[in-house]
Each structure stands twice: as structure tokens, then as C-alpha cells.
Chain A
Amino acid sequence: AQRVTQPEKLLSVFKGAPVELKCNYSYSGSPELFWYVQYSRQRLQLLLRHISRESIKGFTADLNKGETSFHLKKPFAQEEDSAMYYCALSNSYGQNFVFGPGTRLSVLP
């Protein structure tokens, strides 16, 4: 069965500290992996996807097929990174999206 897990409901770090939001998935086949972010009072939006291999707002995520993980990382957290983060997957045709339960990141001053 397709499933996305995010073990941390809440993650608190201090400004300037490294942050890693964990995401694991189960999928039969080759999924596309995404991170979506929801800032306070803003709509849910795409942060990054694994096929782009790009860094957005200092965040990166590496797909580890062996560990079926897609952890989101940033070396130095900023207060404006505080938000709700969702890991998600789809098939290669952009169908059948599955979302994880989300991790709320709180960056403390």
C-alpha cells in the first residue's frame, strides 16, 4: 500500500541550528516525491520535488531509494521557516497523491 510517514508531529529548533524533517514512504514502483509547505495564513504550496534536484529557500531533500526516505534538510534554520511541512508522493504521471501527516516546524529566536 502507498503510504507516507512523518514521525515528528512537532519539531522545534533554535534559529541558526540545522534542521531535518524526516519522511519515509512505501510504494510499489518509482514514485515522485515532494515537500509541500503551509506558512501561517497562506495556502499550501510546493516547496520542492526530488526530480528537480534544486535547493529552495536553503532547503534540500535527497531521495534514498534504499531506505525509502526523502528527508528535508536545511543547514541554518530561520524564523521564517516556521510552518507546517508535508511530505507527499505521486506516481510518475502526477496521479494518486498521498500525503504524510505533516510536521510542524517551529524555529525559536
Chain B
Amino acid sequence: DGGITQSPKYLFRKEGQNVTLSCEQNLNHDAMYWYRQDPGQGLRLIYYSQIVNDFQKGDIAEGYSVSREKKESFPLTVTSAQKNPTAFYLCASSILGPNTGELFFGEGSRLTVL
């Protein structure tokens, strides 16, 4: 079954703790993305990666970190430096190239900081 898998679906964290959200894809896509979805604000880009071992900051990267050691994996760490981490996080992937643009999304991970 091809697609993007995010885990966990729900996660609770105490203030001051780091937490890592997993994102795996078996679509052989070049690019992977992390978005944060908040009501009324749409999707805001946290980080993206277009190739293994390389990634770029998005619009709201502060307090987050990522790695891209394998093409199929793009984990996101929410650090204690993120001031408002409670949110719904979406991972996506895409092929890169002319007229190929379509993002494929995971089911999301909801993080709640207690």
C-alpha cells in the first residue's frame, strides 16, 4: 500500500520536552515537507527537503529541526524552544519537475503540550 505514513497520530508532551514526529513515504518522491495546520491560518511550511542530506527552512522553522538521512524518511523534532507547539502537523511529499506538482499528504499528527 503506497503512500505517506505519519506516526504517532496523537502525542502528548510535557513542557520542556523534545518530541519527534515520524514521516515515511514509499512513493519514491524526491521532496518532502512538514506543515503546521492551525485553524484560520491554513498550512504553514516548517521545513522541506528536496534531496537526501539537504533541507531548507520554511516560514516557521524556529523551534523545529529535521533530518533527511534517507529518501523515504523525514522526521520532525519539536524542541522545547518552540513556544506554541500544540498543533496539527502534516507531512507531505512530491515529485519535482515540470507540471508534476502535487503534494501527497499523510494523515497528520496531533501534538498536545500539557
Interface of A toward B, CB cutoff 8 Å: 6, 9, 32, 34, 36, 43-46, 49, 51, 86, 88, 90, 92-95, 97, 99-102
Contact = CB atoms under 8 A, between A and B. Distances in A.
B105 A93 contact: no
B90 A94 contact: no
Contact of B101 (A44, A93, A102): A93
Query: Which 7 interchain pairs have the tightest Cβ spacing?
Result: A94-B101, A101-B42, A99-B43, A44-B105, A90-B101, A99-B42, A43-B105
B15 to A, nearest CB: 28
B33 to A, nearest CB: 7
B100 A86 contact: no
Q: How large is the interface on B (under 10, 10 to 19, 20 to 34, 35 or more residues)?
A: 20 to 34
A100 B95 contact: no
B85 interface: no
B77 to A, nearest CB: 22
Contacts of B103: 36, 44, 46, 88, 97
A17 to B, nearest CB: 25
Given A32-B99, A95-B96, A43 B107 contact: yes
A75 to B, nearest CB: 26
Contact of B102 (A34, A86, A92, A101): A34
Contact of B50 (A34, A43, A95, A101): A95
